[in-house]
Amino acid sequence: MFKRVLFVAIMLSLFTLSACSGSQSVKRSQWNMGSAESFQESFVFEADPMRNLTDLQLEIDVDIKEGQASLVATNPNGEDVWSGDTDSKLRVREKFDIIPGEWTLVVTVSEARGSVKTVWKGTK
């Protein structure tokens, strides 16, 4: 009897964990600049058609104390779908219809001090 209860408990746990992990795909990135820095980074999210994602959300949180930050999001067709520049604070949450392939966010920072946080989130 104990083995059956244990087996059922393990199976329920595995089912719950796999159901939760399969419903969303997340990729995060964060840059902290304590002193003035300049750089350009590409942040890629792979929208795999096998995952059956229905939409893609981009979350951006920029807090620049000095300098400038520029961000451009591009879909797999090479089209710019969002862009923004700031020399202070910027908070964005954009939702896109999913297109399978590589989605890219290019972050360009010029002599900036502060932080940039980004999240690509695909959901079913």
pLDDT value for 4: 60
Q: Is residue 28 part of a domain?
A: yes
pLDDT value for 75: 97
Other beta carbons within 10 Å of 1: 5
| Structural domains in the chain (count) | 1
Q: Is residue 64 part of a domain?
A: yes
Note down pLDDT in tens along the chain; length 124 residues. Answer: 655 654 555 555 544 444 444 456 888 989 898 898 999 999 999 988 888 888 999 999 999 999 999 999 999 999 999 999 999 999 999 999 989 999 999 999 999 999 999 999 988 8
Q: Is residue 56 part of a domain?
A: yes
pLDDT value for 20: 45
Q: Is residue 111 part of a domain?
A: yes
Supply the CATH number for residue 70's domain: 2.60.120.380
Residue 15, burial from CB neighbour count under 10 angstroms (0-12, 13-18, 19+): exposed
pLDDT value for 22: 47
The domain in which residue 42 lies consists of: 24-123
